[in-house]
Structure 1
């Protein structure tokens, strides 16, 4: 059981940290989680 089971997920990655697509790949390992938005932003 995961805390992401049956959840909708919004991902905001950081350009100088962990990018959104990398986090999205980790979330995809939970079959019942749904990524509804994924983006990589630059926080300056």
Structure 2
């Protein structure tokens, strides 16, 4: 049983760091369900 099996995940990426879609791609193989993914600019 993996850490993210059957879990719902909210992803908030950073424009100058790691964007949300990149994190989402990494989580696709973990069994997690991405319910929200966004890339924000924190100033």
Segments of 5+ residues of structure 1 without an aligned counterpart are none
- Runs of 4+ residues over 4 Å off in structure 1: none
> Whole-Å Cα distance in 2 between the matches of residues 9 and 37 of structure 1?
7
Segments of 5+ residues of structure 2 without an aligned counterpart are none
- TM-score of the two chains, using structure 1 as the length reference: 0.88
For the aligned residue pairs, the C-alpha RMSD in angstroms reads 0.9
